[in-house]
Amino acid sequence: MTITLRPATEADAPSIARIATAAFADSLSPLIFPRSQLATATVTEADLTADEVTWRTSMYIKRMREGKPCVVAVEVDESTGEEKEILGSAHWQKPGPEGPEVLGVEVRPATYDKDMFAKVVERFTTKDKETLGPRGHEDYWYAILISVDPKQHRRGIGRKLLNWGLAHARKEGRDAYLTATDAGVPLYEVCGFESMETYDCYGVPLTSMVWRLDKNRQ
C-alpha cells in the first residue's frame, strides 16, 4: 500500500468530515458542539458526533465551492491501483482577498452552537490581524484545517498534507500561516513553522505559526 495525495471532491466531504470530527474531539469540537447538552435526556454523544459530521461535511463543501483547495491523502493498492480509504485531508486558502461567501450550503444542526462558532472565527481573525497586520493571512498560503485519522497518526500523512501547500507557497514565493492546536504544534515545528503567539480561545490553547520561505529554502 502506498499513500498518495489527490484533490478532494465534494463526494469525499463526509469521509473527511468524519476524520476531522474524530481528530478535533479533544480540542475545538466541544466548543462548537457543547457537551453540556448531554445533561439533557434527549441528546447523546452519538447525536453530537453525527451532527458534527453533518455540519463539517457542509463546511468542507462550502469552502470547496468558495475555491479553497482541499487535498486528501488516500491509501492505494499498488498492485491494482485501487484506492482504499481516505486517511486525512488539508483544506488550504490561496493568497488573495477572501472571496464572496457561498451561502445556503452550511447545515446547522440543533446541537451546533452557531454563536460560539462565530466567536471562535472572530478570535482567529482578530489574532491573525494582530500577528500579521491588517491584511491578516491574505498574503500567505493559509492552512485552514489539517486532520489525519487518529488510527493513522505518525505515518507521515500530516507532513505530506502540509508539504502540499508549502510546495505551492515555494513556487509562488510566498510564506505560509496557520493556527495550531497543541496536537498540531510538533508537526508544524518540524516542518519549519515558527510560533508567533499562543493564546486562549475560550479555554482551548491556540498558537499562531508562520513558515517563512527565506528560512526554508531547499
Check residue 153 for interaction with ligand COA (CB under 6 A). Answer: yes
Residue 58 has which C-alpha cell? 457542509
Which residues inside 4-23 make contact with ligand COA, applying CB under 6 A? 23
Q: Provide φ and ψ at 103, rounded to 5°.
A: -95, 160
Q: Which of 32, 132, 144, 148 binds ligand COA (CB under 6 A)?
A: 148
Beta-carbon contacts of 104 under 8 Å, excluding residues fewer than 6 positions away, are none
Check residue 166 for interaction with ligand COA (CB under 6 A). Answer: no
Which residues inside 21-80 make contact with ligand COA, applying CB under 6 A? 23-24
Q: How far is the CB of 20 from ligand COA (least distance, A)?
A: 7
Residue 209 · residue 179 · CB < 8 Å: yes
For ligand COA, which stretch binds (CB under 6 A), given 40-48, 105-113, 157-165, 210-218?
Answer: 157-165
Beta-carbon contacts of 78 under 8 Å, excluding residues fewer than 6 positions away, are 1, 2
Check residue 184 for interaction with ligand COA (CB under 6 A). Answer: yes
User: What angle in degrees, to the nearest 10, is found between the helix axes of 45-65 and 13-23?
Assistant: 130
- 23 vs 176 by CB, closer to ligand COA: 23
Q: How far is the CB of 193 from ligand COA (least distance, A)?
A: 10
For ligand COA, which stretch binds (CB under 6 A), given 1-9, 43-51, 127-135, 185-193?
Answer: 185-193
Q: How far is the CB of 49 from ligand COA (least distance, A)?
A: 15
Residue 24 has which C-alpha cell? 478535533
Report the interface residues with ligand COA, using CB under 6 A.
23-24, 146-148, 153-159, 180-181, 183-184, 186-187, 190
